[in-house]
Amino acid sequence: MEARAIAKHIRIAPRKIRIVADLVRGKNVGEAFSILKFTPKVGSRVVEKALHSAVANAEHNNDMNVDKLFVSEIFVDQDSTMKRIHPRSRGQAFKILKHSSHLTVVVKERA
């Protein structure tokens, strides 16, 4: 049995969230929450919310034991990119790319 949570259209670049996602992959849920609580990265809040949602889905929908859960999969996909123009001198225009991402967290019960 597995439970998942998906956070879509996050306005943080995928490479910034992947740093935090790599920290909690394969860890127990309690240990993952304590790692995320003390990680000073912008993506740790988003990952913590998605992990909390996945744990709630496991407990409510699948009647899983919360104490035995671990993060089996966590991955970040790239979403659409907003393109903005920044005017520069002599009539030039530089592109600003604002990346966004999708986060998927899957938790399973340890046997």
Rg (CA), the chain: 17
Over residues 18-30, the mean pLDDT reads: 96
Q: What distance, in Å, lies between the first and last C-alpha atoms of the chain?
A: 11
Sorted by where each starts, the structural domains of the chain and their CATH numbers stand as: 2-109 (3.90.470.10)
> What confidence score (pLDDT) does residue 111 get?
80
The pTM score is: 0.91
Is the pLDDT confidence value at 70 over 90? Answer: yes
pLDDT in tens, 76-110: 999 999 999 999 999 999 999 999 999 999 999 99
CA distances from 89 to 20, 52, 84, 92, 95 (A): 38, 48, 16, 6, 14
pLDDT in tens, 40-61: 999 999 999 999 999 999 999 9
Over residues 69-75, the mean pLDDT reads: 96
Contact 77, 43 (CB under 8 A): no
> What confidence score (pLDDT) does residue 61 get?
95
> What confidence score (pLDDT) does residue 59 get?
95
